[in-house]
Copies of this chain bind each other. A is one copy, B any other.
Amino acid sequence: MLTIGELASYAGVTVRAVRHYHAKGLLPEPERDHSGYRRYDAGAVIELIKIRTLAEAGVPLARVRELLRADEAEFAAAVAEIDTRLRAEIRERQRHRRRIARLAAGDNLALPREVAGFLDRLRALGVDERIIRVERDGWVALAAQAPGRVREWVARKQEQLAGSGLVDFYLTLGQALDRTGDDPRLVELADKLADYLSRIAEEQGERYVDDADIAPPLATLMDALAFDTVPPARRLIELLEQRGWTGWTRLTRVQPARGRGRAAGRADAAGPGGARAGYPPPGVTSPDS
């Protein structure tokens, strides 16, 4: 008769594992001797080796129990299923490898390469670093919602950057950020921004300014991101709202509000401003879906 330690060493497993298999019902509990020790017959070694063999082939213990008692056909079916699972696990890890390779290659932890390129270009053009941070965070959120469309949106943004005076917009905006609430030059800058928006809206159509069909909740989030990073933007928003533009992530024409004409909506959702002349374009999947 064997002790648990002898059994384990014959079968090439740990004592702990043997007890575990007892607990899982894979290996029947043997008789105990007068002092409570488990005593095994030689056949237990064979059983245990079978269990080890299956376990080492990647069979989950729960299935080992079935397989030990399965007939030919059941066994074949189970093995096929386990192989399918193993293949899936391999594919998953291969996907993981590709992803971390991309992270290592410079994807700034959630930022696709194209976006990084776009941000680099803004930086090269002299756009204020705070604005770039806001842009980056916005793109991160956007990419998380609709990763498949980022490339297309970035391309469009790059195009705008090349053609439509968007650079001036960003530069003007950057200057505005350093004006305090009472600086008369802030008003001047707000005029300039409003002029720019109106001109673009006229040239390209209103949709060009607000063509990003970003789901409203996402736009709200991105507004909040911007305000948290660049608090002075709030004042700018008020000034722009008096000049006929509301929203920040998404810019929309409104009736110029003279006094305190805050639009309805929750929290910081509304209020004019304008870093992104409509974050890229279309079809963001709603975060509710």
Contacts and interface: CB of A to CB of B under 8 A. Distances in A.
Interface of A: 1-2, 6, 9-12, 41-43, 45-46, 49-50, 52-54, 56-59, 68, 75-76, 79-80, 82-83, 86-87, 89-90, 93-94, 96-97, 99-101, 103-104, 109-110, 137, 140-141, 144-145, 217-218, 221-222, 224-225, 228-229, 267, 287-288
Contacts of A59: 100
A82 B58 contact: no
A interface, by DSSP: helix, strand, loop or mixed? helix
Given A46-B141, A90-B90, A224-B42, A53 B103 contact: yes
Given A57-B103, A79-B103, A86-B100, 4 more contacts: A50-B140, A53-B110, A87-B97, A90-B93
A54 B46 CA distance: 44
B221 A42 contact: yes
B99 A49 contact: no
How many chain copies does the complex carry?
2
Contacts of A100: 57-59, 79, 82-83, 86
A144 B41 contact: no
A51 to B, nearest CB: 9
Contacts of A217: 6
Contacts of A104: 75-76, 79-80
Given A10-B221, A86-B93, A141 B45 contact: yes
A144 B12 contact: yes
Nearest to A76: B104
A80 B140 CA distance: 24
A218 to B, nearest CB: 7
22 contacts: A1-B267, A6-B217, A10-B221, A41-B224, A42-B221, A42-B224, A42-B228, A45-B141, A46-B137, A52-B144, A53-B103, A57-B99, A58-B93, A58-B100, A76-B104, A79-B101, A79-B103, A80-B104, A83-B97, A86-B96, A86-B100, A93-B93
Chain A to chain B: the 8 pairs with minimum beta-carbon distance, closest first: A58-B96, A57-B99, A42-B224, A42-B225, A9-B287, A79-B104, A57-B100, A53-B110
A109 B57 CA distance: 11
Contacts of A228: 41-43
Nearest to A100: B57
A149 to B, nearest CB: 15
A71 to B, nearest CB: 13
A7 B56 CA distance: 41
Given A10-B221, A43-B228, A89 B79 contact: no
